[in-house]
Each structure stands twice: as structure tokens, then as C-alpha cells.
Structure 1
Amino acid sequence: MARYRYGRWSGGADPLAPPADLRAALDELGREVMEGASPQSALRELLRRGMPGTRGLDELTRRVWERRSQIQRRHRLDGTLQEVRRLLDQALEAERRELFPDPSDDARFREAQLDALPPGTAAAVTELAEYDWRSEQGRESYRQIQDLLGGELLEQRFQGMKQALQNATPQDVEQIKQMLSDLNSLLSAHAAREDTGERFAEFMRQHGQYFPENPRNTDELVDALAARSAAAQRMLNSMTAEQRAELAQLTQQALGDPNLAAQLDLLDAHLRGMRPGEDWTSSGRFRGKNPLGLGEGAQAMADLAELDGLAEQLAQSYPGARLEDIDIESLVRQLGDESGVDARRLAELERELRQQGLLERAPDGGLRLTPKALRRLGETALRQVVDQLRGRGERDSDRSGAAGEPTGASKPWQFGDTEPWEVSRTVRNAVLRTASAGGGRVRLEVEDVEVVETEQRARAAVALCVDTSWSMVQDGRWVPMKRTALALHQLIRTRFRTDALELITFGRHASTVDIGELTALEGVWEQGTNLHHALLLAGRHVRRHPDAQPVVLVVTDGEPTAHLESDGSAEFNYPPLPRTLAKTVAEVDGLAKLGASITVFRLGDDPRLASFVDLVARRGGGRVIAPDEDGLGAAVVGDYLRNRRSRR
């Protein structure tokens, strides 16, 4: 029997996490795009805001800066100096207690030596370097000062070194000094462009326990050490001049060996020369009450640098920025596991939008919505319209597809087909497919299905003319207009595929556009409502389909204020010129002669517009509908379906 082992979750993507909600993300992208944003900026805004249950980049950035402020607000950098002062006072007090009962001149001379010590901590520690301690406690406290300084100086540059020096024997200290000497020799050879592969391997074999980063070559070793050394330098830059001077003097007493400070200075010089791009010059302002030692201070400076890097990655403001650039391990280390989960979800969302074919590169290098994305947006818009129609008591009939008289033939089923199945051919397809695969139990698959082919009883040539003048943007009608076009386009493309739809926009001029261009159309400051030009284009569309029933739908919020001249220029005037109105009405009459019914969807309460569209309805045999912005889509789709039912 198979055996299974279960263990603790070890990181990586959560296999139980819900997948990215692409439909909700696409709806958000579509809304931004229809309001005039480019797909690139819409995606950036989506990632900045985040999704329900997932923090966006703005929130993660806020937490990064909050964490950075906490480090500086809670801590100070003189922890090592304070600890040295405490140990020094402890040593002096123990020595004085030991000397006080002794009546000898030597005891009095020693007391005078102690009383004459300079007031500065570093100077006093240096003065006591050759002092012969009478008190064992005093001698031990002074030795602790030397060990503390050595541990802190090494911790600044080698992570975990302070812990390694706890309870260290003289042999351990000698091994560390040997490691520093070997390290400087290795770096000198590397700086001279020598091949250090074998020397590096030997160095790591002897001293690898001091390098938890586990570098694989000399360059990686230099990278790790330079980042730590630069953080130590930035910490010194952040201290006062007096504190830096005291530390410089105290380092000579580290581990009781002045050569240690010299080796560390040489190491810093090597690293600074090999990695000049590190930040060696900046500083920070620490104003808290919690004192940090040299090692802790260097780690705090490293944390600040890491947080600065995360802030840059989360800003995504550099060329070619991708969410995969975010260092998840650093983010988790600084902000916790939840922030790492949020960043992974955002990266997955961006990746899935691209991999699922919803976004693609445009010729100009930017992003654009793919036809697949536009179909999904159309499905959403149509679903909302259908919900509104049902709320008004209308219903979507199953017979509203491309139904007609059966031709006796069948065809493979496609999405949107509502014709009945051709059962015998469907079963035959399933049997043949199963037999070709080696036999077995017959199961129906989607590709087996065939439906009865029918002849269309009536088809329509539909021209949807939408006003794109600035007032549509200004009065909040821009997005409802685009959603209306999306819904109608989706309905005709999926359920009335024999109908021919033309999308026409009109401002100062009119033009035909596809659904992608209309969706991404940006509002521009342009005066002029050239309905005359739009009806001209609608007439051309109707004439290209002489066998179809012409239907013209006009969405506008203003009376005609522009018309097209014979040379192709547009003449604008407000109030409208009689010539503009006459040319527009002439096109209405021309469409009426072609049998077109014109329905005008009037937005707003302009009395001049109401008077004009009533005239259009009377002369064109159409009607006027005055929906609000939220009901525009339902009004247009509902009128299209009503006209189609009347044709049948």
C-alpha cells in the first residue's frame, strides 16, 4: 500500500489559497479604461489599491515607511558606549572596595591613580590598559569591556559573531584573528584580479562557520560583507562627532589586541574599494530611548537600507518594473508573513492577467485589452443590462437567438448557439471519437455536440451612434455610454451573429470604431455635436447591407451644433445654425427612405435637445427614450430586442 508522510508547511505558494479573481480584476480594469485611463495605468492603479482581501502596493508601502519610522523613533545608537561606561564604573567600584581596607602606601597610590583617570570613558579605558588590578571582580569587568568591544566590532561586519564570542576561549579568539588575516589576504588577491577559486574554497573550508550567508564564490562573499560594512559606516555617520571619537579610541582595546582594529580597518578599505556603489556616506536620525550596540545598530542600518529598497520596488516607478522584482523574503522579514502573501497574490494577479490573454503589448510598447478581455467586459455589461430588464418585468427569451427554419443540415455547436441539438450526429461523433482513442465507455464531450442549422428569418444592420463630445465626460455619461456599447456588441456577437453592428462616435467629427477602440477612447475637450456626420456614416452602413432591416440608435446629450462640409471640414456654431439643423434633418429623411427606424436616447433635460429629437422621431418614424445614466444600457438593448421581436 502507498504510504504518505505529512510535515510542517515549508513555505512557497499556498496550495489552498483561492485563485486570483480575474473577473473582478478585469471589471476594475475595464472601469478605469472606460473612464479614460490607459490599460497600463489602469493595471498600475489596480495593483496600488489591491483587491478585496489583498492589500495593495500603497498599503504595503505605507507599512514599509511606518516600520522605517519605528526603527528610528524607538532606538538610539550609543548602547555600546553606555555598556562600556557601566562595566567601567563596576570595575572601578570593585577595585576601590578592594583597596579601601589596605593601609599601605601602594593602596593609596593606586587610589590616586583611579582618581586621576580622565573623565571620558574611552580615555579612562585606555589609561587602564596597563593597570594591575587587585580586585578579581574589577579585572573581570575590565576584561568584559575588551570582549564586548571585540564582539560588537565583529558583529558589525559578520552576522552572528557576537554570539560566537560568548564564552570564547583564547584559542577561539586566535582563530577569529586568523580568519581576518586570511580574509584580507583573499580580498587583496581578488582585488588584484587573481583567480581566487581555490583560495576561496580553502578559506570557506577553514572559516565557513562565520558566514551564515553561505556565499558560493568570492564575489558573493564580497557582496555580503560590503553590505554589512556599509551599514556599519552609515551607523558611524549617524552618531555625533564625540561618540565617533570615543569609539575610535575604544577599538584599540577590542579583545585586548590593537591588531584587531587594524585588520578590521583593512577589511573596510578592501570592501569600499571593491564595492564603491554601496551607500557609504548617508546617515539616519535616531531619536528613541532604546540603546543599540554596534552590532544591533549596524543591523538597524541594514534594515533601513532594506526597507528603502522595498519602498522602491513597491513604487514600481522605474522602467520595466514588474511585481516579480519585489524581494518577498525581505518583505516577510520586515513586515511579516501576511505582507508576503499579499505581494505574492498581487504578482500572481498581474501574471495571470497576462498569461490568460487579457492584456497584451501594443505596438507602441504599452498594454492594451485583448479581444478576450473585451468579451469578458461585454459579458459583464450585458449581464447587468439583462438584470435591469428583468427588474422592469421584461425577460430574455430563449427564442431570441438566431432562430429560423431548419435547413436539414447541422453544424458544430459554438458558444452562444441556442438551436436544438442534432442528437444522432452528436452521439455518432462521441462513438467515433471513443473508437479512435482505443474504445471504452462512450462519454459525450463538448466537441461532439452538433446543433440544427437554421435559416435566419430576418437580419438587421444596426448603427449605434454615440455622442463623444466633452459634455458626455463632464456630466458623468462617458462610462455608461461605453458600457451600453459593450453590452449591445456582446449581445449581437454571441446571440444575433448575423446582425451587422457598426459603432459610430461623433463629436466635432464622426468616425467608425471597433469595440476595443471605443472602450479605450479618452475624453477630450472638444466642442461640437456632429450628428449630421454620424448619420451619414450610418447611412453608408445601411446601404452596405441592403438585405437587412436598418436600425439606427443614437445616444446624445446635446442638439446638433456641427455639420460636415463638402470638403470634409466640420463647421461648428452655438446656438446651432439653421444650415446645421437642415443638413441633419436631411440625413434623417434619407435614412427614413431606406426604411430605417431611428431611436434617440436623450440624456439630460435640455429643452432645445428635447424639441429637436421629437422632430427626428416624427420624421424618421422612430421614437425618443429619455433614460437616466444607469438605465441607458437597458434602454438601448431593450429597444434593440423590441425591434427584433417586431421584425419576426
Structure 2
Amino acid sequence: MARRGTRFRRYDGGDPLAPPVDLAEALDAIGEDVMAGYSPERAMREFLRRGGRDQRGLDDLARQVAQRRQELLQRHNLDGTLQEVRELLDRAVLEERKQLARDAMMDDGDRALREMQLENLPPSPAAAVSELAAYDWQSREAREDYEKIKDLLGRELLDQRFAGMKQALENAGEEDRAAVNEMLQDLNELLEKHQQGVDTQDDFDRFMDEHGDFFPERPENIDQLLDALAARAAAAQRMLNSMTPEQREELMQLSAQAFGSPALMDSLARLDANLQSLRPGEDWGGSEQMSGDEGVGLGDGTGVFQDLAELDTLSEQLTQSYAGSQLDDVDLEALARQLGDQAAVDARTLQQLEKALREQGTMRRDSTGQLQLTPRAMRQLGQALLRDVAQRLSGRRGERDTQRAGAAGELSGSTREWAYGDTEPWDIPRSVLNGVLRRASDPAGPMMEIGDVEVHETEDRTQAAVALLVDTSFSMAMDGRWVPMKRTALALHTLIRSRFRGDHLQLIGFGRFAEVMEIEQLTALDAMWDKGTNLHHGLLLANRHFRKHPNAQPVLLIVTDGEPTSHLEADGEVFFAYPPHPLTVAYAVRELDVSRRLGAQTTFFRLGDDPGLARFVDSMAKRAEGRVVAPELDDLGAAVVGSYLGSRGPGGSGGPGGSDPGGSYGDWFGGRGFWVG
């Protein structure tokens, strides 16, 4: 039976015991940005860029990439190979002079000629190496050092194109060099056949069978081979471009001495030409300014330039600024190479978070293809806001949420004997106790009979028709009241949809004109910069809502930071005037009177300290037998929700014309019960 081979690799998935990604923090942050006017797509990308409390974001990773790039540029310079050549040349000349001084058998004229030749070597290392090509070395050590220069140049030039070749060919013999020359010849022939379109996979396979040891990455086809070779060759070219003209000239002259023959340079030049022709999209013309103290040779320097190119690609991937970008584009292996394993783990977590946001019912695309928060996400966000409201209302942070339920309304705390047709919940302990007491006098009786059953009494709960009017004029956005207004609307919407499902809520935004809005539309509404506060139109829509539900208790909640400055004319056109025109005020008062006649319990939430607004709102509340609340922005949600809850509790919303600057409804909250979940 054939055995199946098993391959292992290093685990790179981060902590295997780490909990799955938590969407709560992301959803809260995205919701805040959406309510501030961002699109859901942009809000999600902003969160991924910022990261969370315990999670690095894309900006942190991009900053680390930029720091790594700057570190490479400031650490290295490109003089490494030339410096190594100078050192070998100086050592060879010194050893030769020592040998000349020791050799007593040498003719004095010959010694003087040799010493003069060594003394008058040109300052250019390339010219000096070229001039010494025909020199008859007397010192064995000097000859070896000089030959090392040729060997070094050959290995460096090969290492520029084939990573690791410098080390692999150290102390190589003629046979090894012949193998390299043969590989280069076959490689150029293969690339030229590919350029002509006449190569086959068999050609590639034969090449790899014969020369595969030179390619430890083991490409599977010629395109993979080309990609690897072209990326390395382009980095080598960028390194050459980054040198000074003097450095380039020196290296070009020295290259002819590689392995003591110009054949290597001819093969490499042919290879570069083939690669540039086959991969013109690589960056062959770029350059960098390096200013460090650590010199790098041609091979290592090419590796540095490959690192720089990889860092540039990572930077582009992490900024996500191109069309169609997504976090799956980030190369985690490259990120781990450049920044370490933890950076790759952080990026993978962000990828999982983005995927979860898109796939777990948090976001969806509408009919136009735009990303939007789903109803499920809106509920989760609203519940989070409601929990915050509950804490503010209760005044007891850390109190656990509770669930209270009743078939016909709120539990009163009393019980009564069950009667035919009752749908209230049973009081199980009381019913069992009744059975036990009955059997104490009649042991033969049944364990339970219908007369033992008691049910909880409940208070009837009147349905409410709630109209929340929110000011959407430009001053709300200008003075930082836009997001608190939206948070308030979402919290109230969530409360009614989850706890008071029988109530009818209508959200009305009023700026230059008024509009009935769904909660998704209101939370995504961008700042309105049109001038005008059309309370008249908003009250018209609210009264229409109240008339649609004649059997429900009307509740009118108005959030505003300005006096009415516009109204609807008879022909439907909007009239605007500032300061407020008396006719505009009269129209708003007329509709408020209609609301009062319909029985609406009215609360004004006054934002800001404008004396004129305060006088207007106080007089309107007194006329409507309503109340005024002047909350801080952070307490707006608690004030609106508390007023709504108060309108449903005993005693309604308070006395006519009352005011509650703090918006304190903690007693009602603590005594009546409040469920969020």
C-alpha cells in the first residue's frame, strides 16, 4: 500500500486558544462614524485603520513598515563591494612589498621596477586591478589576495541575480564555474524561446532537472521562474541606479575582471536584457538615497533593495487606497519577514474581523451596491446605546439588566384565583402552596386542582403613538449635536421595538422642511447645511401620525436647538426668514394646539443656552401643557427615553409647563423595571 507523504510547516495562525474576533467594539465604533456622516464602508475601513483597544490597526502596521524602510536606508551604504576590493588590493600590495624587501636574490633593478610599479598604482581600484592583471606576483599570499578580488567580483555579480550564490561559490573550482556558465547559457536560451513563444513545459522541466540546484525556491513553471528572477534583477538595477556615477564607473570596470574573464558579464548582460524584455512592468528605473555607515556588497545590497520593494508593496496593501482593495490583499508572509510574526498575526486578525463584519449579518449591500448596516447590526448598536441610557437613568452603574414580562402589561405584584379566559402567567409557588394546604385537610384529594391555581395580576398598558421630532438644521451639525441626536433616536427606536412593541414610533427630521425617516435613513444622514428650522412642517407630520392611531396615547418629543425660522406655505413652498417671522411662529403654534387637542403629552428638549430659544420653548411647553428638559448632550438619550417611559408610567409626564433640567427619571427606572437585551 502506497504511503502518503506528510508535510509540515511552522504554525503561523497566532494564539490557537485566542477567542474569536469580537464584533461588539467594531460595531460600536462603526455605528458612531456612520451617525457622524460616514458611509458604512468608510466607517468600517476607518475602524480597521485605527484598530481597537487591544488590537493594532492598519495605521500602526503601516507606520511600522515606514519605520523599517527608513531604518534600512539609514543603516546601509552601497560602498561595500568597492571597500572589500580596496582592502584585498591593499593587502595584496603590502604582502608583495614585504616579499620584495625579503628577496635577497632578486636583481636590484627588477626590484626597483616592481616597487615603482606598485608605488605608482592609480587611486582607482578598478584601474589598479586592471593594471595588475599582468603583474608577476612574487608573494604567494599577495597573488591569492589578488585572485580573491576576481573571485569576489564574480560571486557578487552572480549573487545579485541569484540570492545565496556568493556563499555557495566560495572556494569554488573551475568545474563549479563552468557549471554556472552552462546554467546561464541554458537559461538565456530558455528565456529567448519563451520570448518567441516556442517554449514548452518540457523545456522548463529539462532545465530544472539539470540546473534546479541553483533555484532552491523550486519554481513550477517558467512564469514563476521569471517573476523571481526579474524581481531580483530589477532590485539589482535599482541598486546600480542609486550609486554615484563614480561608484558605477568603478564597478563596471571591475566587472570585466570577474572570474578573470569577460564571459560572465556577457551572460549576465544578456540575462538582464531578456528579463527586462519579458517583465517590463518591474521597476527598472527607481533609485534610493542611502546614508548609513554599514556598507553592503552587490548581493546583500540587492537583497536590501528587494526588502525595500517588498516594504513599498506592503505599505500600499496596508493603506488600502487603491480601487477594489481588501485586507485579503495583504501578504502575511512578507509582513512576517519584514516586521515579525506578531505583525502577521495582527493583520490576520483584522482580515478575520473584516470578513466577519461582511459575512455575519452586520453589513449588506443595498440595491445600488452601497454597503449599509443591516437591521441586526442596528439592533446590536441600539442595544448598546440603550444599556448606556439605562445606566444613566438608574444612577447605579454595574446593575444587571433584568427582564420583566407580563401577558397584558406590567406585573402589579398581586395575584388572584384563575378564571376562565385568563391569559396572565401562573404564580407557580403560590399555586403549589394552595395544593399542599388543601391536601393537609384532605389527604386523599388530587395533587392539584383548578381552584388551586393563581395568576399574576398585571396593569393594563396603553398603546402609545410616539412622534420624535429631531432638529436637522445646520446649527445641530455646527455645534456638535448631530451624533448625540442620532444616538438618542436609535436608543428610543430600540427600546420601543424590543420592549414596547405595541407602540407606534415615527421619526421626523425637520430642517428647512420636515421628513419622515426610517431609523437606518436617520442614522446614515449626513450633516444638513441648509438654513431653516421648520417646526411647523414637523408638527404637521406628527399630527398626521397621531390621527392614524386614534386609540393610542399621543406622545410628542421635540429635540431642537433653535427657534422656528421656516414654515410651509399653502402651495407647499417653504418660507424662510431670520430672525423668525411672526407668521412662522404662528403656524408652529397652531399645529402645536392641534397636538394638544389630540391629547399629546409633549416634551421639548432644549439644546443650548440661547435666551430667545429658552423663552420660546418655555412658552410653547406652557401652551401645550407639556414640559421642558434642558439636558447636557451626553444625557440627551437618557432624557428622551426617560420622558417616554414617564409618559407611560403612573401620572403621565408631569404637570403642565414643568421643567426638568437634569432629565432625572431614575426613580421610575428603578421602580418600574427596564429591560435591554
Please report the TM-score for the alignment, with normalisation by the length of structure 1: 0.89
2:557, 2:602 within 8 Å by CA — same for their partners in 1?
A: yes
Q: What is the deviation of 1:623?
A: 1.5
2:470, 2:558 within 8 Å by CA — same for their partners in 1?
A: yes
Mapped to 2, the partners of 1:585 and 1:395 lie a distance apart of: 44
Shift in CA distance, 251/8, structure 1 to aligned 2, threshold 3 Å: closer
Residue number among 277, 280, 283 corresponding to 2:281 in the alignment = 277
Residue number among 458, 468, 473 corresponding to 2:477 in the alignment = 473
Q: What is the deviation of 1:383?
A: 0.5
Shift in CA distance, 31/421, structure 1 to aligned 2, threshold 3 Å: farther
Mapped to 2, the partners of 1:508 and 1:383 lie a distance apart of: 33
Letter in 2 for 1:388: R
Mapped to 2, the partners of 1:453 and 1:164 lie a distance apart of: 90
- The aligned counterpart of 1:27 is 28
Q: Does 1:155 align with 2:156?
A: no
- The aligned counterpart of 2:78 is 77
Shift in CA distance, 398/96, structure 1 to aligned 2, threshold 3 Å: closer
Q: Does 1:378 align with 2:382?
A: yes
Mapped to 1, the partners of 2:419 and 2:212 lie a distance apart of: 82
Q: Deviations over 1:446-502 (max 9, x none)?
A: xxxxx9999964211111111111111222221111111111111110111111100
- The aligned counterpart of 1:541 is 545
2:76, 2:295 within 8 Å by CA — same for their partners in 1?
A: yes
- The aligned counterpart of 1:339 is 343
Deviation larger for 225-234 or 164-173: 164-173
- The aligned counterpart of 2:144 is 140
- The aligned counterpart of 1:40 is 41
Mapped to 2, the partners of 1:129 and 1:288 lie a distance apart of: 33
Counting only pairs closer than 5 Å after superposition, residues 218-297 of structure 1 correspond to structure 2 as: 218-297=222-301
Residue number among 510, 514, 533 corresponding to 1:510 in the alignment = 514
Q: What is the deviation of 1:127?
A: 2.1
Shift in CA distance, 484/496, structure 1 to aligned 2, threshold 3 Å: same
Q: Does 1:388 align with 2:392?
A: yes
SS at match of 2:216: coil
Q: What is the deviation of 1:8?
A: 9.1
Mapped to 2, the partners of 1:321 and 1:453 lie a distance apart of: 60
2:190, 2:199 within 8 Å by CA — same for their partners in 1?
A: no
1:504, 1:510 within 8 Å by CA — same for their partners in 2?
A: yes
Q: Deviations over 1:608-632 (max 9, x none)?
A: 2222222222332222222111111
Residue number among 167, 177, 182 corresponding to 1:178 in the alignment = 182
Q: What is the deviation of 1:410?
A: 11
Mapped to 2, the partners of 1:225 and 1:124 lie a distance apart of: 33
SS at match of 2:281: coil
- The aligned counterpart of 1:628 is 632
- The aligned counterpart of 2:438 is none
Q: Deviations over 1:257-310 (max 9, x none)?
A: 221111111100100111111111111111111111000111111111111111
- The aligned counterpart of 2:437 is none
Deviation larger for 503-512 or 361-370: 361-370
- The aligned counterpart of 1:321 is 325
Mapped to 2, the partners of 1:611 and 1:116 lie a distance apart of: 101
Counting only pairs closer than 5 Å after superposition, residues 209-608 of structure 1 correspond to structure 2 as: 209-391=213-395, 399=404, 403-404=408-409, 420=425, 457-608=461-612
Mapped to 1, the partners of 2:562 and 2:304 lie a distance apart of: 63
Q: What is the deviation of 1:90?
A: 1.0
Q: What is the deviation of 1:13?
A: 4.8
1:464, 1:504 within 8 Å by CA — same for their partners in 2?
A: yes
1:400, 1:495 within 8 Å by CA — same for their partners in 2?
A: no
Letter in 2 for 1:623: R
1:87, 1:142 within 8 Å by CA — same for their partners in 2?
A: yes
- The aligned counterpart of 2:432 is none
Letter in 2 for 1:80: T
Q: Does 1:643 align with 2:647?
A: yes
Shift in CA distance, 40/421, structure 1 to aligned 2, threshold 3 Å: farther
Q: Which runs of 5+ in 1 are unaligned?
A: 412-418, 424-450
Q: Does 1:86 align with 2:91?
A: no
Q: What is the deviation of 1:396?
A: 8.2
Q: Deviations over 1:420-447 (max 9, x none)?
A: 5899xxxxxxxxxxxxxxxxxxxxxxxx
Letter in 1 for 2:18: A
Residue number among 596, 617, 621 corresponding to 1:617 in the alignment = 621
SS at match of 1:463: strand
SS at match of 1:37: coil
Letter in 2 for 1:242: E
SS at match of 1:348: helix
Letter in 2 for 1:513: M
Q: Deviations over 1:109-157 (max 9, x none)?
A: 4334434433321112122223332211011111111111111001100
Q: Deviations over 1:136-180 (max 9, x none)?
A: 101111111111111100110001111111222222221111111
Please report the TM-score for the alignment, with normalisation by the length of structure 2: 0.85
Letter in 2 for 1:494: S
Q: What is the deviation of 1:65?
A: 1.5
Deviation larger for 602-611 or 262-271: 602-611
2:406, 2:458 within 8 Å by CA — same for their partners in 1?
A: no
1:389, 1:395 within 8 Å by CA — same for their partners in 2?
A: no
1:407, 1:453 within 8 Å by CA — same for their partners in 2?
A: no
- The aligned counterpart of 1:11 is 12
